[in-house]
Amino acid sequence: MVLKKIIWLIDTTTYTKEIDKELREIKRNYFRIKKHVRHTTLGEHIEPKTRTFSYGLLRIATILTHNGIESEYIHHYDIDDKLNSSAPDLVAFSTVCPTVGLADSLMQKIRAKYPTTQFAIGGPHINVAYKKTQSRYPNFNIYCNRSDIEAAEMIAQKALANPTGEYVNFDLLPYSIKEYQINTCTTLGCSFSCKYCQDNHVCYKEINNDGHLSYLVNHLEARTCVHFCDSVLGGTAQRLLNVCSNISKTNHDFLLSCDMRAEMVNYETVEALKKAGFCEVRLGIETTDSEVLKMNNRSLGKEVFIKAINMLRKHSNIYITMYSVLGLPGSTVQSCDDTARFFSKMLDKKAVDEIKNCIYVPYPKDSVEYNNVHIETDNWANYDRQSFPVYSLPTMTSREIWNAYLKTGRIINKYWMKGQGISDISEISNNTYNEYISSSYAVI
Ligand code: SF4
């Protein structure tokens, strides 16, 4: 008789962050304005849910199931409910940098109960900081620095067949798909190579042609927000057109959003996005300082960005969100101020609908020594885009980076309201997108 293996796949890619009091106030107003602006601009919609899932871990569950290996997808916050069931043979954690310590403490807890169980740890952080993780947290049995089928094989400890057809099987999630914030994708990794970004450390791969919309259309309510989390929608401008064409054939009634590069925005791509039902496009600008962009291998300046948003405004009603990463190597107090001034103009003139601002994080990597970055703390729990900076620069102290971040956050709120004709925060509902806040920040 062959005994079946019991495998638990534990999602530790989410965490609740306790943020600084000053930042909390800024974020509270930010989400209040956001809710107002989104409802005014996009109309009524199902608000994003708190619960998220790891696409990579769900893919591993899909591959194991396809090969007849039973595994159970478990969120780390549900682990206590599992500790009275049969001992698992193997427990695999998917982690991000700030949650590696959480996975380690859960491993110790489970091992105390089931001493013969084996433990694996993987996820985006281990892919780039394999040796560093092994030396800091040495008690796992398997350190999985692979993704997709190779990761599944490391967990199953044997060769597996690659399933054709569905890329992920949403039915393997522990909750109904309706209870999750939906992040789907058509590619993994990114073919661009901005130095400050992790996405290009994952091997670029085209994985499906419609982001599973032909499945999701039968399982989600109308006006659900569905985000395409491809680093750049479709991977290339040409593929974006194909992906949009496939999405438009699904006849969905969702509110789709995606990330893309400003240089991919042209008349043809805007028309394709509209036809596919995209209501929101998110574009990164990071900073207006061309020297900083050059230093960080970001070949995309302010002019290209402005051209892209003008094109979107002229030919569509698509909601434009701007992404920015403050404190990149080379930044100065002056360059942060100049960027904040640019943001105030963008919001005041309603050239964009929203600006998401966050702090640069020099994530630990085995192979990269950061030039011009001095690491101030090695506490990975704080390697987070909303935490006090874990680094300083020759051009800025960590305190100066933090102050610039808070200042930029206040400027964004102020000019966002001004552009929307709101003179005081009390003029709009006290409601926020609670889902975002409770999942990302502790007790706001
Ligand atoms: S910043 Fe954007 S374009 Fe650059 S590597 Fe990351 S995901 Fe790709």
Query: What is the CB-side half-sphere exposure of residue 361 using CA atoms within 13 A?
Result: 21
Closest C-alpha to 120, from 103, 140, 96, 136: 140
Alpha helices (H) in 157-219, listed in sequence order: 213-216
How many Å apart are CA 382 and CA 314, to the nearest integer? Answer: 41
- Residue whose token pair is 């682990």: 79
How many Å apart are CA 185 and CA 208, to the nearest integer? Answer: 8
Average pLDDT, the chain: 92
Residue 260 Cβ contacting ligand 1 at under 6 Å: no
Q: What is the pLDDT of residue 434?
A: 59
Mean pLDDT of 119-144: 95
- Please check whether residue 95 is in contact with residue 44, taking contact to mean a CB–CB distance below 8 angstroms: no
pLDDT > 70 in the chain, percent: 96
Q: What is the pLDDT of residue 441?
A: 46
Residue 192 Cβ contacting ligand 1 at under 6 Å: yes
**Range of lowest pLDDT (55-69, 189-203, 325-339, 429-443):** 429-443
* Secondary structure class of 221 (helix, strand, coil): coil
Residue 194 Cβ contacting ligand 1 at under 6 Å: yes
Q: What class has domain 58-156?
A: alpha beta
Mean pLDDT of 414-441: 79
pLDDT digits (tens, 9 = 90+) for 76-116: 999 999 998 999 999 999 999 999 999 999 999 999 999 99
CA dihedral 161, 166, 168, 169 (to 10 degrees): -100
Please give the model's pTM, rounded to 2 decimal places: 0.93
Residue in 192, 263, 321, 363 to alter for ligand 1 test, most ligand atoms within 8 A of Cβ: 192
Residue 169 has a CB neighbour count (10 Å cut-off) of 18
Select the highest-mean-pLDDT range: 300-309, 362-371, 403-412.
403-412
Superfamily name with CATH number, domain 21-52+174-440: tm_1862 like domain (3.80.30.20)
Residue 248 Cβ contacting ligand 1 at under 6 Å: no
Q: Report the separation in Å between the CA atom of 141 and the middle of ligand 1, taken as the mean of its atom positions.
A: 33
| Tokens representing residue 87 in the block | 């001992």
Q: Report the separation in Å between the CA atom of 179 and the middle of ligand 1, taken as the mean of its atom positions.
A: 29
Residue 349 has a CB neighbour count (10 Å cut-off) of 10
Domain ranges for the chain: 21-52+174-440, 58-156
How many Å apart are CA 352 and CA 428, to the nearest integer? Answer: 20
Q: Report the separation in Å between the CA atom of 363 and the middle of ligand 1, taken as the mean of its atom positions.
A: 15
- Please check whether residue 93 is in contact with residue 123, taking contact to mean a CB–CB distance below 8 angstroms: yes
Q: What is the pLDDT of residue 438?
A: 42
Mean pLDDT of 142-155: 93
Q: What is the pLDDT of residue 444?
A: 36
Select the highest-mean-pLDDT range: 295-304, 355-364, 396-405, 432-441.
396-405
Residue 324 Cβ contacting ligand 1 at under 6 Å: no
Residue in 185, 187, 188, 190 to alter for ligand 1 test, most ligand atoms within 8 A of Cβ: 190
**Distance linking the first and last C-alpha atoms of the chain:** 54
